[in-house]
Structure 1
Amino acid sequence: MVKSKVEQLIIDALEAQALEKGADIVDVEVVGATKAPTVRVRIEGADGESLTLDEVTAHTSWVSDVVEGIDPVPGAYTLEVSSPGMARPLRRPQDFVRFCGEDCQLTTTSTEGRKKFGGRIAQADDHAATLELEDGSTMTFAYDEIKKCVLKPVYDFKGSKEGKN
């Protein structure tokens, strides 16, 4: 995955402590205005389990200390620490392997033609992920060609009602 130098610096610093803190760094984004950006850190449990709001709050302290320690952006910034949510970003090869079979939206770094693709992760390994696109065709993307990839959440508003036909 392609990350900015600042984002990668933050990821590296956080990952150095995350395991001992019982957390996994899902993703880091630096977004917003240049003068006062937002640093978004998405975390989950070390074994990929979801965290409660109280657990995320508890992790915020050490995440803040690490980010402050490297002072990644000049001036003021806002730090947001949260769980990855339903539209979970995929950043590492193991994320693509873990969510094989799931639908996603992928943006490439391509400078020619189409940049956005939607489909199901059909296969993933240490070097690339293959998507079965919405039209039934497949495309393989090397991780260094992927700018961003997020799971496509599935909302079931109807739900199942037991005993009802």
Structure 2
Amino acid sequence: MAATEQLIGILAPVVESMGYEFVGVEFQGSGRGAVLRIYIDAADGVGLEDCEAVSHQVSGVLDVEDPIPGEYNLEISSPGLDRPIFKVADYERFVGERVRLRVRGRHEGRRKFRGWLRGLRDDCVVVDENGEEALVPLEVIERANLELEPEGR
């Protein structure tokens, strides 16, 4: 399986040359159930036609470069309301938004952190959990997503 950095190096220029933001990439599963999911965004949002156009361009590049052995399904998606965070710069970009983090193993005895994103400090993501600051090292974050603000706030 291709390294994520290799996939980004191949796919980001294609997506960005088409005028879209390359949000990130995920590869999940194995065998016939494997999925390569590419998240794209645009100032006016992303529709089905956008996803189809990017899929067409990306498919051609993937056929030529062939970075992933075996079969997989290609999906092009908007980041949605629970936008995944892939880039370090996005932890500063989305300061003030609600965030949900899941870590590999345990950090401070926990797997999940949820609260208000306060940015970065010393290679850690700063999350305000009800007035308590949690510092989560970037290298232990398995998954990060923005989260809709709960009702009544």
TM superposition score normalised by structure 2: 0.83
Higher strand share: 2
Deviation at 1:14, TM superposition (A): 1.0
* RMSD (Å), alpha carbons: 2.5
Aligned partners of 2:94, 2:117: CA distance in 1, in Å?
7
The residue type paired with residue 104 of structure 2 is T
Deviation at 1:132, TM superposition (A): 0.4
Deviation at 1:126, TM superposition (A): 8.8
Aligned partners of 1:96, 1:130: CA distance in 2, in Å?
9
Moved more, 147-156 or 114-123: 147-156
Deviation at 1:109, TM superposition (A): 2.5
Gaps of 5+ in 2: none
Higher Rg of the two aligned structures: 1
Aligned partners of 1:147, 1:86: CA distance in 2, in Å?
19
Match of 2:15 among 9, 14, 18: 18
Gaps of 5+ in 1: 157-165
Match of 2:112 among 109, 116, 129: 116
Runs of 4+ in 1 over 6 A off after TM superposition: none
Aligned partners of 2:149, 2:106: CA distance in 1, in Å?
30
Q: What is the aligned partner in structure 1 of residue 58 from structure 2?
A: 63
Alignment of 1:92-103 (within 5 A): 92-103=87-98
Name the % identity.
28
TM superposition score normalised by structure 1: 0.77
Alignment of 1:63-102 (within 5 A): 63-102=58-97
Q: What is the aligned partner in structure 1 of residue 131 from structure 2?
A: 136
